Every structure is written in C-alpha cells, then in structure tokens.
Amino acid sequence: MFDFAPLTKWIDTVLHNAMSPFWAVVVEMLIVGVLILLFYALIGLFLVYAERKVCAFMQNRLGPNRVGPFGLFQTIADLVKLLLVELVPIRNADKFLFNLAPFIVITASFMAIAAIPFAKGLHAIDLNIGIFYVIAVSAMGVIGILLAGWASNNKYSLIGAMRSGAQIVSYELSVGLSLITMVILAGSMQLSVIVEGQATGWFIFKGHIPAFIAFIVFLVASTAETNRGPFDLAEAESELTAGYHTEYSGIKFAFFFLAEYMNMFIVASIAATVFLGGWMPFHVGNWDGFNAVMDFIPPFVWYIVKTFFVVFLMMWFKWTFPRLRIDQLLTLEWKYLLPINLVNVLIMAFIVLMGWHF
Amino acid sequence: MEEPVKVAVDENQEYVINMGPQHPSTHGVLRLVLALKGEIVKNVEPHIGYVHRGMEKMCESITYPQIIHLTDRMDYLSAHINNEAVCLAVEKALEAEIPDRIKVIRTIMSELTRIQSHQLFWATFGMDLGGLTCFFYGLRDREKILDIFEETCGGRMIVSYNCPGGLMYDIHPNFQKRVKEFIKYFRKILPEYDQLLTGNIIFQERTRGIGRLSLEDAISYGVTGPTGRASGFSCDVRKHEPYSAYDRVKFNEVLFSEGDTFHRYLARMEEMRVSMDIVEQLIDNIPEGPFAVKLKPVIRLPEGEYYQRVETARGELGVFIISDGNKNPYRIKFRSPCFSNLWVLNLISRDFKIADLVAIGGSLDLVIPDIDR
Amino acid sequence: MRSIIKYLKEIVMAVWSLLKGMKVTGYYFFQPNKIVTQKYPENRKNLVMFERFKGEVIMPHNEKNEHKCTGCGICEINCPNGTIEIISKSILTEDGKKKRAIDKHIYRLGMCTFCALCVKTCPSEALAFSQEFEHAVFNRALLIKVLNKPGSQLMKGVE
C-alpha cells in the first residue's frame, strides 16, 4: 500500500532545514490550507454536477450536456455566473448577521474536512478525538442557518430557519449515538486508529447486525443533518420557496449551496471511514491472491469510491422520496431512531464484551 | 436613512404570510393570505383574479364557433371537454342530430384528456410533496397522449378540435393504433406510479387523514369532480346525465367516503383506470359516418336559455347561454369546477400545518385560469 | 410484547415501501435507453412535425407564383381576434371587367391563437398550416406577415 507518511515527513524535514521552526509550521499550514481549499472547490463543483446527472438519469433526462464534454464544465459556468450576479441588498435586514451567516456555514464544513483521513498518511490533523471533533464542528453550521433565516427579514426564511434548528438539534443525537456504537467496536475515537482497525475487515462486516443498523441510522440521521431531501424542510421549495436562503443571491448563495454539497461529502466520508473501512482495501479472509489485487488499488481511490457510493445512496434517497412534515420528522427521530439507537448501543457493547464480533 | 417599516401586530399574535401570487405550489397566480400560529394554519384567504381575462364578456361579442378558442384557454388541462360543453349546448339549442361517429370520437378524446390531466395532477402532486421525480415521470407519460392529440388535432394542449356540429377534422388514420399502444403502455406504467408514490410510507403519512372534507360540506360548497367523489358525493355527470357516448359504455363511478387528501388522490388514480376502460370499449367500435354535420354558415341560436353540463377532469362544468337570436350570445356563463372547489380550502386546511396546506391545495387540483376565466 | 412486535412490524413495512420506490428510480437510473429528452437544435434535420401540426398560417403558392386567394374576406370575418386583415384592390380582367382581387393578406402571427377557423372556412382552400414552429424574432414587427408573395396572381380557374 502506498504510504504518504514518508512524503509528508520529507517535506517537513526540508522545510525545517531551510527555515526557522515557526516559519516552517506557517508554510506547512499554508500548503495544507491551499490544498484543502482546492480539494474543497473541486469536490463541491463535481458533486453539484454529479447530483444533476444522477437525478437526470433517474428522471429519464439527459442532465447538463451543453458546456464541455457531457456538460462537465456546466457547474464552472454556473459558478462564474454566481460570482458575477448582483448581491441584492435587503431592506431592514440585519446587515452584519446577514453577511456573516454564509461564512459560518461554509467555515463549519471547511473545518470538518481537516480531520478526515484521505489515505494512509494523508491526514491534515489526526486528533485523538477525531470523531468528536467532526461532530462538534459540523454542528456549528446550524448557527449560520439560523442567523441567515433571522437576519433576512423574510417570513419564509424565518420559518425555514426555525425548522432547521429543531431538525438539526434532534438529529445530532442520532448521528452521535450511531457513531458511538462504532466507537465501542473500534475502541478509539481517533480516525486513523479506526481505519487501521479495519485492516482485517470493515466494521460494517465485523460488527454485523448492530453495525449494519448503526449504518442505516447514521445514513438517515446524517441526511437529515445536512438538510437534504427527503428532510430538506429548511428549504422546502414547494412550501417556503427556498427557506432560509430565499433572500441570498450571488456568491453568498453559492456559499450555502457549496456548503450543502460539502456537508454531504463530509458525512459520506465519515460513513465511509467508520463503517466501510476508509481507505482500507476490501479483503476477504485468507484469499491472498484476491487481497493482493485489492491492495494494488491505491488507498485514495478506495476512499473516493466508498465516499461516492454513500453520496450516491443519499442522492438516491433525495430523488425518490417525498418530503416529510416537521412533526413527522421529529417523530421519526424521537420515537424511532433514538430508541433503536439506544438499544443498538447496548447490543454492540454486549457483543464487544462477549467477543462475538469478527 | 429610511424609516423602518412599522409592522402591525395582530391581536391574536398571528403571523400573516403571503403565499403567492408567485409561489411554486399555488400552480399559477393564486394568492393565499395565510394567518399562521407557528407552523399551524389558522386562516386561509384566497385572493383570485390575477389571470382574469373577461372571457364571458368576450364571448358576447364573438360567434359560437369562435367561442371554442376561448374555452380552450379556460381550464387548459381539459381543453377538449370545455369545448365539448359549448358545442353540446349549441347543438342542443339548434336541435341538431349528431351522428354516432362524432359522439364516440368526442368521448374518446374527452377520456384521453381526463387521463392526461390526471397524469399532470400526479406529477405536480408529487412535486408539491417534495418528490421531484414524480413530476418527470408524469410528464413523460403525458407526452404520449399529447402526441396523439397533435397528430389528430394539430395542437397539443390547446386542441380546438370540436366545433358546433361535429369536429374540425376526421381522426388521423394512425389514431386507433396509437391509442391502443398508449393504453397497453400505460397499464404497465401505472403500478410504477403506485410503487413510487401511493404505497410510500412518507406519502401515506403526509396525506392520510389530512384535510378531511365531509359529505355535507362537499354538497353545500358545490364541490364536484374527483374531489367531491372522494367525500362520497356521487356527482359524476357522465353517469347521472350521460352526454355524447357515455350512455353506451359500462363504467363505475369512483366513490370514496373518507374525503381526505389521500382519497382525493386515490380517486384520480382510479379514474385514470376507469377512463382507460372507457377508451378500450370504444376504440374498436368507432362507427362510420361523417365527422361533422352541415350547419348553417352563420349559426344563430333561437331565442331562449340553454344549459349543458359536462364532467371535466376537475368536476362539473356548466355552460349557460342566453340567446336573443343573434349570431353571438346575449350572455354566456361558465360554471367552472375549480371556482367552487377552491373555497373549501379555508374550511379543510384550518389547524393543519403549512406543509399540509400545500398537500391539500395540490389535491384539489386547481387550475387558476379556470377560476378567474 | 405485542406492541413491540407491532412497532417492529411498522418499521419493516415502512422500509419495504421505501425500497419499492427506490427500485423504480434505481431501475431507470441504469436504463439510459429510456431517456426521453431530445437534443433539440442538433436533431433539427430529422425532426419531423405531424402533418396537421398548426405552426403558422401560410398561403401555398405554385411554381408560377400563383395562389388561390380571391380576397373574399371570409377568413377575416371568421378570425376571432382580428389576426387577419385583407387589403383588396380592383383590377381589370382580360375582358375588360373590373374585378376585386387581393392586394395584401396580412397575418399577425403574434396574435394568432391557432383555432384553424380561417383555414377551415376558406371557400377556395387558399390557406394552410405550415409545420414551422421556430417563430422567435427580435423585432415584434417581423411577426406581421404578408401571406401573398409579391407579384403573385390568382390561380386560373379559381373564382
């Protein structure tokens, strides 16, 4: 398996030899920041394109096909358009909060991406409480949404923001609990340790029934947490026109838009990392030949393929199901997901205690 | 520095919100003024007239064959049935004998119109509830009927195919083949509609028990069509007062007693099947004969009052003509189904949530130009 | 106990109904041959409209630049919204008689509602529908068309 650790070590030593430790760290941070920013923009643009293509195929349409081959540059054209579009000033809006909201939303998703292990040794920051950090940081986005709805001075926006507040606060619980189930199995909250622990088998196979239930619950709850259909109540275009970002235009709207897709990507990465083995290749017992072939595929490709599989699942949900109502949304969380989750944590703890996992 | 706008605060602490006239789920330019308490709808006040074109007044200055092109644009989703209503009223006044061929073709066309209207209902209802894929599947299948219309009538939505005394042209040689192909295709597709939406647990939760309209209210508000029949109001004009060829086909009136959003939806799904049955009974038995009877070049109705009602895709459409013996009507009045159906919205959506209001509004299947005329 | 079974059964049935919906969309996702979208400007060449399609009203001319319109004005009377206007002139026939003939047959495409009354009521079948549907222009004045071509004459034998 290709290991990025020597490469990063080498860059580190070169920088430290060339300049003082302070400047070396600053340069390293800059490099990492720029890389993540690039990755962020590219993935965001690609996801928008992918979503449009996926939904088009599901609806017997062609999807974007005019700009570039297969419409690949359509999202770039859209981005340029959004950059050039007028920023409409809103009368009686709270200007400071109105402008601040998109930045909070995008910063939250930007911070979460730092803790995700992309491949062996390719990891911006390997916190020993990685999962906790990701949950905590991604939950910050809701403040941005609430501010956006409040500051817009629009009744639809306010309803949308209030809905999303109720929604994210309750679904945060399920996301956390389903991840805790896996933390019990992994025995660590450090993402790199979790991935290493799956070298002999992904956790979704290792933890069998409770892990599978946790995966489903995580998928449902995280879809709700990212405000995507069928839980897109905060936007609900047929009820609230566009919900909390009704009044936003131009690049500020693009921030919300991009953040939504990146949140989806982050959630899918966490699912891939915790349940599907992150960048670990697919191994079967002692089929050495098969395992060797699987090892040949680079870990970054494994990571991307798994993440996009989860992303595809989420898109599939969105383009199939009608939207829930706000009270049904909360019923689903408090009457179904939460009890299931609690029982599931118990079962998982018991299984780990008895050593019944693989 | 601008003065901040002072917002009047209601004594009941109600949150007044304007839904429409430009809103994705009012299906046109209907404006609903909602009084909310949190998410809960306390009052709905429909404001109509944004597409008022003064059709009834316009009709007073044009001749009877020319009225057809206006009724097309009234309820544009059942254009054919609207035209049929005017034609039947005129023919009734002239006491013209209409050959069977015309009657059968009119019936087939009307039923195809009904199917295509309900397909669009399915599509938009799915979209109102947030399932966007339904919209594209519905439109995809509707295209097939519109193609049949285009081949025979030359128009897709605005067909202008009926005229007093018969039809504008004979049916296209391909007509029967294409209709049979469509029915075969659509019978296979309908279960897919059920899998995607009807059986879906989210959909059922969203619609069952929502916006219940009682039989008494349905009758007293004059709610007709699938909306009324879902509440148990047996109001199918095709059954009770058969016109054209409806007296020679066997079909069941779709009736439910629950009257909630889900059953209004179900009534339309069932009606599509019933319509297909009617078309199947007639399509192979189109009698030979002329496609139009010769009327006088300038049609003058004898002095008097004439009324004809038909069943459009949305309910009962009545055409009332007062003639003073001239070539244009003295007064014409359309009793349009959507106008009557709209006013139950306040009654049945009170104390439900905004999301339910959208679902209820969608299940009434309103066409705004039909309300405003 | 019974309530727990009911609870679990509810969940299973709900998930099952959702999976059925996903089957439909998933099926179409993997069926690219069922895509119904047409690539419009590219398929212009083989895009054939139905023969009865009402694109716009035209006056067919034969190769000798002759049409069938006598200028009787029935289409103008029958048009519900004044789309058609006929400007006639009087000409001298070969045997020296004065006769009414058409000077300009003005057709306002922007106002036309395609009710087909003009085409149907024309006694000499001088009007027809073309299948042309690309009517967009930058200047509204271009939508006012003169149907008879310059220098055209009445076809022989049409009264």
Minimal Cβ distance to A320: which of C22, C34, C39: C22
Contact call for B24 and A236, based on CB within 8 A: no
Closest listed residue to residue B347, CA positions, set B361, B336, B334: B361
Contact call for A236 and B130, based on CB within 8 A: yes
Chain A contact partners (≥3 CB pairs within 8 A) = B, C
Q: What is the pLDDT of residues B64-80, one digit of tens each?
A: 888 888 888 888 888 88
pLDDT, average across residues A44-66: 86
Chain B contact partners (≥3 CB pairs within 8 A) = A, C
Domain C44-154 bears CATH identifier 3.20.20.70: no
**What's the CA angle centered on B235, arms B229 and B241, to 5 degrees?**
150
Q: What is the pLDDT of residues C29-72, one digit of tens each?
A: 888 888 888 888 888 888 888 888 888 888 888 888 888 888 78
Kindly report the average pLDDT of chain C as a whole number. Answer: 84
Closest residue of A to B354, CA-based? A239
Closest listed residue to residue A114, CA positions, set A193, A29, A182, A194: A29
Distance CA A158, CA C111 (A): 44
Contact call for B353 and A327, based on CB within 8 A: yes
Contact residues, chain C, for B69 at CB < 8 Å: 80, 113, 115, 117
What is the dihedral angle through the alpha carbons of B182, B186, B187, B193, rounded to the nearest 10 degrees? 180
Contact call for B136 and A60, based on CB within 8 A: yes
Closest residue of B to C14, CA-based? B201
What the block records as the tokens of A346 is 């118990």
Contact residues, chain B, for C115 at CB < 8 Å: 66, 68-69, 72, 160
φ, ψ for residue A111 (rounded to 5)?
-70, -35
φ, ψ for residue B163 (rounded to 5)?
-145, 155
Structural domains of chain B, with CATH = 52-346 (1.10.645.10)
Q: In sequence order, which ranges of B154-242 are alpha helices (DSSP H)?
A: 175-193, 201-207, 215-221, 225-230, 237-240
Say whether pLDDT at C159 is over 80.
Answer: no
Closest residue of A to C26, CA-based? A58
Distance CA A264, CA A257 (A): 11
Contact residues, chain A, for C11 at CB < 8 Å: 336, 340
Interface test with A, best of C9, C17, C35, C43 (most A CBs within 10 A): C35
Q: What is the pLDDT of residues A122-151, one digit of tens each?
A: 777 778 888 888 888 888 888 888 888 888
Angle between helix axes B100-128 and B79-94 (nearest 10 degrees) is 150
Minimal Cβ distance to B25: which of A55, A61, A238: A238
**What's the CA angle centered on A79, arms A77 and A83, to 5 degrees?**
120
Contact call for B65 and C24, based on CB within 8 A: no
Contact call for B151 and C50, based on CB within 8 A: yes
Contact call for A62 and C29, based on CB within 8 A: no
pLDDT at residue A163 in the model: 85
What is the dihedral angle through the alpha carbons of A309, A315, A316, A320, rounded to the nearest 10 degrees? 170
pLDDT in tens, chain B (373 residues): 556 555 555 566 778 888 878 887 777 788 888 888 878 888 888 888 888 888 888 888 888 888 888 888 888 888 888 888 988 888 888 888 888 888 888 899 899 999 999 999 999 888 888 888 888 888 888 988 998 888 888 888 888 888 888 888 888 888 888 898 999 999 988 888 888 888 888 888 888 888 888 888 889 998 888 888 888 888 888 888 888 888 888 888 888 888 888 998 989 999 988 998 899 888 888 888 888 888 887 888 888 888 988 988 888 888 999 988 888 889 898 888 888 888 888 888 888 888 888 888 888 888 888 888 8
Contact call for B132 and A230, based on CB within 8 A: no
Query: A 49-88 residues with CB below 8 A of C?
Result: 54, 57-62, 65
Query: B 344-363 residues with CB below 8 A of A?
Result: 353-356, 358
Minimal Cβ distance to C26: which of A59, A65, A316: A316
Contact residues, chain B, for A239 at CB < 8 Å: 25, 354-355, 358
Q: Does C27 touch chain A (CB under 8 A)?
A: no
Q: Tell me how close the Cα of B59 comes to any Cα of chain C, in angstroms.
A: 10
Contact call for A320 and B132, based on CB within 8 A: no
Count of CB contacts below 8 A, B vs C? 68
Strands B31-37 and B15-19: antiparallel
Q: Does C37 touch chain A (CB under 8 A)?
A: yes
Closest listed residue to residue B69, CA positions, set B172, B207, B168, B200: B168
Minimal Cβ distance to B154: which of C23, C52, C78: C52
Q: Does C50 touch chain A (CB under 8 A)?
A: no
Q: Does C53 touch chain B (CB under 8 A)?
A: yes
Contact residues, chain C, for A65 at CB < 8 Å: 39
Handedness of CA B345, B350, B354, B355 (dihedral sign): negative
Q: Does C34 touch chain A (CB under 8 A)?
A: yes
pLDDT at residue C138 in the model: 92
Interface test with A, best of C22, C34, C39 (most A CBs within 10 A): C22
What the block records as the tokens of B53 is 């074109």
Residue B290 CA, distance from chain mean position: 29
What per-residue string of b and e applies to C52-85 under the rule 16 or more CB within 10 Å gives b? bbbbbbbbebeeeeebbbbbbebbbebbbeebbe
Interface test with B, best of C19, C20, C24 (most B CBs within 10 A): C24
Helix (H), strand (E), coil (C) string for chain C: CHHHHHHHHHHHHHHHHHHHHHHHHHHHHCCHHHCCCCCCHHHHCCCCCCCCCCCEEECCCCCCCEECCCCCCHHHHHCCCCCEEEEEEEEECCCCCEEEEEEEEEEEHHHCCCCCHHHHHCCCCCCEEECCCCCCCCCHHHHEEECCCCCCEECCCCC
Interface test with C, best of A58, A215, A318, A334 (most C CBs within 10 A): A58
Closest listed residue to residue B244, CA positions, set B115, B80, B371, B365: B80
Residues with Cβ < 8 Å from C15, sequence gap 6 or more?
none
CA distances from B213 to A166, B74, B216, B358 (A): 31, 26, 8, 16
Say what percent of chain A tops pLDDT 70: 98
Q: Tell me how close the Cα of C71 comes to any Cα of chain A, in angstroms.
A: 48
Q: Does A320 touch chain C (CB under 8 A)?
A: yes
Contact residues, chain B, for A241 at CB < 8 Å: 23-24
pLDDT, average across residues A2-13: 75
Domain regions of chain C by residue span:
2-34, 44-154
Range in A107-116, A310-319, B119-128, B186-195 the model is least confident about? A107-116
- Amino acid at position A47, single letter: L
pLDDT at residue A301 in the model: 82
Interface test with A, best of B205, B265, B363 (most A CBs within 10 A): B205
Cβ atoms of B358 and B32 within 8 Å: the answer is no
Helix (H), strand (E), coil (C) string for A217-266: HHHHHHHHHCCCCCCCCCCCHHHHCCHHHCCCCHHHHHHHHHHHHHHHHH
Helix (H, G, I), strand (E, B) or coil at A286: coil
Handedness of CA C58, C60, C65, C69 (dihedral sign): negative
The answer to whether the complex's ipTM is over 0.90 is no
What the block records as the tokens of B341 is 């159906």
Q: Does C40 touch chain A (CB under 8 A)?
A: no
Contact residues, chain B, for C50 at CB < 8 Å: 147, 150-151, 154, 172
Q: Does C28 touch chain A (CB under 8 A)?
A: yes
Say whether pLDDT at A290 is over 80.
Answer: no
Kindly report the average pLDDT of chain A as a whole number. Answer: 83
What the block records as the tokens of A206 is 């290792």
Say whether pLDDT at C3 is over 70.
Answer: yes
Interface test with A, best of B6, B202, B360 (most A CBs within 10 A): B202
Query: B 273-302 residues with CB below 8 A of A?
Result: none
